[in-house]
Amino acid sequence: MAPAKKGGRAKGEARTPRSYPAYDVKASKGPAHKQNPQKLRESLKPGAVLILLAGRFRGKRVVLLKALESGLLLVTGPFAVNGVPIKRVNAAYVIATSTTVDLSSVPIPAKLNDAYFAREKANIGEKDDNFFSADKPAPPVETSDERKKDQKAIDDKLLKVIEKTPMLKAYLGALFTLTKGMKPHEMKF
């Protein structure tokens, strides 16, 4: 055999593979990565009035009840004022206003957490005999009596606080919109 050239390979020597072989054994990824909840902006304190920017209730003003462990915000309309129920919202999709509501007299139950809003798993394993059944619209989801009772309990206390401040009920009921010439980056909320 001839001596190897500088930076090359000797005659008859095997070439290096272009790719590595695939193995059936998967490499372990190590310890699972723990997700940390996002840090909230300073303006997102319980009692702050927020404007929803996305979703079904975009443009509605809501009251922030508390921040949940997952980093989402627990908000309500109240439902009696603007039709927004108790729901979770990502902090990226809200604008905090300078208006606040005193929540000291409004008890927020501890059961209103992330597990309270978890959806039931659908039975994916079950196969339907009719192939075209997937084209049918899904039946509407009924709001449970427990959720209605929780909504009413919070709304009653919150409405008493809201009615103490003049024009706050009308402010929460009004829809936020931008019109021609309005510059959001120059606006003061």
Tens digits of pLDDT across the chain (189 residues): 555 556 677 888 888 777 776 766 666 776 777 777 678 889 899 999 999 999 999 999 999 999 998 889 999 989 999 999 999 999 999 999 999 999 999 889 888 888 888 877 655 555 556 666 667 777 777 778 888 899 899 999 999 999 999 999 999 999 998 889 988 888 887
Instruction: List, edge to edge, every strand of the sheet that includes 94-100.
Output: 87-89, 73-76, 61-67, 48-52, 94-100
In CATH, the number for domain 39-119+166-176 is 2.30.30.30
The tokens describing 17, both together, are 């593979």
CA–CA separation, 180 vs 151, rounded Å? 37
Residue boundaries of the structural domains of the chain: 39-119+166-176
Q: What is the DSSP letter of 49?
A: E
**Burial letters 77-91, b for 16+ CB under 10 A, else e:** bbbbbbebbbbbbeb
Question: DSSP string of 62-90?
Answer: EEEEEE-TTS-EEEE--HHHHS--SEEE-
